[in-house]
Structure 1
Amino acid sequence: MTNPERYPYQPEIIKTEEENDHFLATMEDLLSRSHLTPEENTLLELLVRLIENFENQHYQLNVSTPRSRILHLLEARDLEIGDLVPILGSSELVSQVINGEVKVTREQAEMLGKFFHIDGSLFSGE
C-alpha cells in the first residue's frame, strides 16, 4: 500500500473531458520536475495509461503510439530529438524511430524508459 502523504493524488478511471484535463495538468506538472520520487514515477505511469485509455476511446484519430509518446515527452521536458542520440546510439537510428521507419526494440524501450524515468513498455509495440 502506498503512503497517502507521499502519494497525494488518487488516480481513477477518466470518464469526462474535465477529468482528462485535470489529469493532463497533473501529468505535465510531474513531467516538468527534474527528479521524481518512486511514488511520483508510479503516478506518472498510471496517468499516462489512464489518459491514453480515455483518449483512445474518445479520440480515435489521435491514437497514441510509442513515437508520439517520445515526441510528447521530448516537448514536455523541453528536449531536442538530438538528446536521444546517446540513448539510441546514432542520429540515423533516432531519425528512423522518429519518422516511424523502424519500431523501438525492447532494449531501446528500456533505455528510453530509464531516460524519461517511466516504464519502458510505453515505448514498445504499436
Structure 2
Amino acid sequence: MSALIKQAAEHWEFVSPLLRKPKNEDDYDRLVLALDELLEITGDDESHPLMSLVDIIGDWIEEWDHKHRPMPEASGADVLGYLMREHGLTQSDLPGVGTQSVVSEILSGKRQLNLRQIRWLAERFGTSVETFI
C-alpha cells in the first residue's frame, strides 16, 4: 500500500462525508455548509491547496441544483420587470423602449421587445442582448 493511500485510509472517516455526491436534501445541505466554510478558509486564493476540494463540492452542488432545482426560463419582459424593480424604475423611465404605454404592453405580454429596444436595454442595464431574448 502506498504511503498516500495509507494516509488517506487513516483519515477517511473524517473526510469521507465531504467526498460523496449528494443523494438527498440533507447531503446537499451538508455540502453547502462545507463549501461555505471552505470558501471562508480559501478566500480568493486560487492556489490554496483546498481549492480542488472547493471545485469538486461546487460541481456536485451545481449538478444537484440543475437536476433538482432547475431555473425557470425568463422572458425578456420578465427580465425587464425584474430589473425595473431592482433599480426602482417606472415605465416612463425607459424612453429607449418607448412610451409608458409601450412599456406597459411589453410587461403585460401584449407586445414583444424588438431588436432596437433590446439593444437599448442591454446598454442601459450593462448586460448582453441575450439577457432580453
- Which has the higher Rg, Structure 1 or Structure 2? 2
Q: TM-score normalised by the shorter chain: which range applies?
A: 0.3 to 0.5
> What TM-score, normalized by structure 2, do the two folds share?
0.45
> What TM-score, normalized by structure 1, do the two folds share?
0.48
* Higher RCO (CA < 8 A, seq sep 6+): 1
